[in-house]
Amino acid sequence: MTPEGWSVATLKEIGTFSKGSGIKKDDVLEVGIPCIRYGQIYTEFENVIKHVRTFVSGTVAKSSRQLSAGEILFAGSGETKEEIGKCVAYVEDVGAVAGGDIVILTPKGANSCFLGFALNAYDVVVQKTERAQGDAVVHISASSLATIQVLLPPLPEQQAIAEALSDADALVESLDALIAKKRDMKQAAMQQLLTGRTRLPGFSNDWQENRLGELLNYEQPTRYLVQSAEYESEGTTPVLTAGKSFILGYTSETEGVYDKGPTILFDDFTTATQWVDFPFKVKSSACKMLTSRDPAVSLRFVYEMMATISYVPTDHMRHWIGIASHWSVAVPRPAEQLAIAEVLADMDAEIDALVAQREKAELEKQGMMQELLSGRVRLV
């Protein structure tokens, strides 16, 4: 049911379509005429373009589509049907140009910021998915986008919704910026504390060189491998990988759970590490569990130290026994190890709290989008 006072319109009724042109990856410069490439719609922008950080020369710009404030930019190609047609509202006129594979909607009589949110809402995403074409590379055309239907409240309500959602966006972005700042601060602290260039008060003893294999024991993951790859979205026992994804899902399996206290999860092929201080199972036989040989050695300190080692694997081979265990690191006495580890762990805890706050803010924003863009909640 259409909310009172709202209407349903197709995009061809809202405005006219055109296409971007030109701009190859090699054309992008650090200074020049602002430009937007279709891939940035997926990777750099959410619903509204607020800052353009890529540029092209005047020569390239002349052969590209000049944008005007208020236009809506759709990614005309992508990797999956679920993501095709991601769009952003270009609301500030900074003289930018649009590259190829961007479909442009020039609306008339609609709030562009509102459309930036509304055209990324779930029901519209479903419509775009249904119109996508292709498998390896998925495309969506202007003629297909033109048939998409969207709910339109009166213009003043569009403006109010856009402002509310923009405020929610701004909160998420401010948390992103704060998280990035805190991570930079931790990285700087690691560079100082883990090299001994900066010493914490009360410590002055020399550091001693040790191989990682002298500091750490390793355990093979065989008994902790998850049996079923049908992971659950929630549960008591997470299934881990040492890579960036870290928690792959959850399992109800109760046998073979690693529950021996803190460990460094080490990927034998990539040398990626994760700090784990809760019970878990693992997906891959490439994972090793590293623990301290000597209780006096701070495992957390060694974990942080390992993160500073610059090594890029070039072969698909197992690394711990033959390579990584022989890496040499300078280690202070146990009391200083513990003090450094506590400082860095406190910084991690602060970052984790901000990440949780950011996730909550993002969920609240998504909830606002569902309620406001459907008309289930009306703004006075």
pLDDT digit of tens for each residue in the chain (380 aa)?
A: 899 999 999 999 999 999 999 898 899 999 999 999 999 999 999 999 988 999 999 999 999 999 999 999 999 999 898 889 999 999 887 889 999 999 999 999 999 999 999 999 999 999 999 999 998 899 999 999 999 999 999 999 999 999 999 999 999 999 999 999 999 999 999 999 999 999 999 999 999 999 999 999 999 999 999 999 899 998 889 999 998 899 999 999 999 999 999 999 999 999 999 999 999 999 999 999 999 999 999 999 999 999 999 999 988 899 999 999 999 999 999 999 999 999 999 999 999 999 999 999 999 999 999 999 999 999 87
Domain count, the chain: 2
Crossing angle for the helix pair 334-374 and 155-193, to the nearest 10 degrees:
170
Buried b (16+ CB within 10 A) or exposed e, 108-134: eebbbbbbbbbbbbeebbebbbebbee
pLDDT of residue 158: 97
pLDDT of residue 199: 97
Are residues 31 and 106 part of one domain? yes
Distances (CA, A) of 184 to 53, 309, 356, 369: 21, 17, 18, 32
In a domain, 123, yes or no: yes
CATH number reported for the structural domain that contains residue 60 in this entry: 3.90.220.20
- What's the burial of 342, exposed, middle or buried (CB within 10 Å: 0-12/13-18/19+)? middle
Using the 3D structure, point to which of 331, 350, 374 is the last residue of a domain. 331
In a domain, 15, yes or no: yes
Are residues 148 and 22 part of one domain? yes
Domain that holds residue 243: 208-331
In a domain, 17, yes or no: yes
In a domain, 74, yes or no: yes
In a domain, 372, yes or no: no
Which residues lie across from 104 on neighbouring strands? Answer: 18, 73
Distance of CA 252 to the CA centre of its chain: 28
Are residues 118 and 11 part of one domain? yes
In a domain, 159, yes or no: no
DSSP 228-288: ----BSS-SEEEE-SSTT-EEEEE---TT-B-SS-EEEEETTT--EEEE-S-BEES-TTEE
Question: What phi and psi, each to the nearest 5 degrees, are found at residue 26?
Answer: -70, -15
Are residues 237 and 139 part of one domain? no
Which residues lie across from 106 on neighbouring strands? Answer: 16
DSSP 55-116: EE-HHHHHTSEEP-TTEEEEE-EES-TTTTT-EEEE-S-S--EE-TTEEEEEESSS-HHHHH
pLDDT of residue 315: 85
Q: Which run of H or E residues covers position 121?
A: none
Q: Measured on CA atoms in the order 88, 90, 96, 102, is the torsion positive or negative?
A: positive
Residues 6+ apart with CB under 8 A from 191: 197, 308
Are residues 30 and 112 part of one domain? yes
Are residues 145 and 23 part of one domain? yes
Are residues 239 and 137 part of one domain? no
- Beta-strand relationship, 48-49 and 87-90: parallel
Are residues 129 and 34 part of one domain? yes
Q: By the 8 A CB rule, do 23 and 52 touch?
A: no
Are residues 214 and 138 part of one domain? no
Question: Which one-letter amino acid corresponds to residue 70?
Answer: G
